[in-house]
Amino acid sequence: MAELIDGKQLAKTVNAQTKRAVTELKTRGVNPKLIVILVGEDKASQIYVRNKQRKAVQLGIISETTRLPEDVSQAELLKLIDQYNHDDTVNGVMVQSPLPRQIDEAAVTRAILPTKDVDGFNPENVGQLYSNSNLNFPVSCTPKGIMSMLKAYQVTLAGANAVIVGRSNIVGRPMAALLLNASATVTVVHSQTKDMRAYTRNADILIVATGIAHLIKGEDIKPGATVIDVGMNRDENGKLTGDVDFDSAEPVAGKITPVPGGVGPMTIATLMQQTVELTKWSE
């Protein structure tokens, strides 16, 4: 029986801290403001963006969503970002993924001012992360939220054997950097890895971010390991399910995140937390 890492509960705690910080900023006349840019009509994106805006409003953060048509040009999008970059009332800017084909996503991440880059995707911020910089800089919210979970559940990081399944720029790679900066021994495995399970079975900390439902089963987990499931897959009944087969994993793991109610709520809580951090850092 693993201890459940309750992301929903922890997100509440983080959100309460954020709300207090916002209140405190407002007494000084500072009003944190987050801009979300949504391109096109993607259904899932609309839900994500609505959830972000709702959470921001709950916490006292001014949130504006700017909607652009599916066929918006790259130049128009970059021009809009530039306007927000120059707008002193704006503290955080993010562009919801995925973007339509005519838009170069890397150019968009480069365009957002590093000091307003609430998603932490700008190369300059990525570089600070990988250089283990001691400056203030934003970090991709999902892995940053996972670090908060590991800390809250007192998981030992220094010297732990951490294995990350998946090498995306949003989760796998920044997760590797954060864990290495925290002195874990870090392995990144991915689709081209031979015998992935030989690695996962030795992991003290296992982070799974592949988008493949139930890729990791109980037999792939070291007894007592901390298992973090970043997966958000829909099963045949439309039910949300993770990259880890919870039923077989839970009896083996020491600590484990559920899906839903694990990483998901912490990602959005971290986005709000980071909006406030960017606001404070820019003061």
Q: Least distance to a second copy from the beta carbon of 227, Å?
A: 19
Q: Least distance to a second copy from the beta carbon of 135, Å?
A: 7
Give backbone dihedrals phi and psi of 101, rounded to 5 degrees, phi first.
-60, -35
Q: Which stretch binds a second copy (CB under 8 A): 23-31, 119-127, 218-226, 269-277?
A: 119-127
H/E element holding 4? Answer: strand 3-4
Q: How far is CA 104 from CA 97, 109, 168, 174, in A?
A: 12, 9, 17, 21
Read off the tokens for 36: 């979300």
Q: Where do we find the tokens 């912490």?
A: 266
Among 98, 127, 223, 224, binds a second copy (CB under 8 A): 127
Per rule CB under 8 A, is residue 192 in the interface with a second copy?
yes
- Reported in sequence order, the residue ranges of 167-218 that DSSP labels E, i.e. its strands, are 185-189, 205-208
Q: Give 82 or 124: the residue with its C-beta nearer to a second copy.
A: 124
Active site residue 119: yes
What is the pattern of x (binds a second copy, CB under 8 A) and - over residues 131-160?
xxxxx----------------------xx-
Among 173, 214, 222, 255, binds a second copy (CB under 8 A): 173
Per rule CB under 8 A, is residue 225 in the interface with a second copy?
no
Burial environment of residue 27 by CB neighbours within 10 A (0 to 12, 13 to 18, 19 or more): exposed
Q: Where do we find the tokens 């809250």?
A: 152
Per rule CB under 8 A, is residue 101 in the interface with a second copy?
no
Active site residue 52: yes
Among 188, 215, 244, 256, binds a second copy (CB under 8 A): 188
Cβ-based neighbour number of residue 221 at 10 Å: 28
Among 59, 177, 178, 228, binds a second copy (CB under 8 A): 177
Active site residue 17: no
Among 69, 98, 123, 223, binds a second copy (CB under 8 A): 123
Of the candidates 264, 263, 274, the one whose C-alpha atom is nearest the C-alpha of residue 56 is 274
Of the candidates 102, 104, 100, 120, the one whose C-alpha atom is nearest the C-alpha of residue 112 is 120
Per rule CB under 8 A, is residue 207 in the interface with a second copy?
no
The catalytic site residues sit at: 52, 96, 119
